[in-house]
Amino acid sequence: MLSNDQEARIRFAYRVYSTGNTYGASAAVVKPALELSDRVVASCGQDVTIDSVLFTRTATAILNNSENN
């Protein structure tokens, strides 16, 4: 189960991934979002179309794995 913070991080990371726009967010928020996006792309592969469902599922697994270790 995701915390509200994790859900917000994933939503923002997907928004940055899909639009490329950070909407004036601070570097402290943008940098982790870009890192998460990069990890999702690396996990899914370059040749896969990553929609919001795949992004969320992959990002959730990444966050759960990294924060539970």
Please give the full DSSP string across the chain, using - where no structure is assigned: ---HHHHHHHHHHHHHHHH---TT--HHHHHHHHHHHHHHHHHH-TTS---HHHHHHHHHHHHHHHH--
pLDDT at 11 over 70: yes
7: tokens are 């859900």
pLDDT at 1 over 70: yes
Interval 18-65: pLDDT, tens: 999 998 999 999 999 999 999 999 999 888 899 999 999 999 999 998
61: tokens are 């697994």
pLDDT at 68 over 80: no
pLDDT at 4 over 90: yes
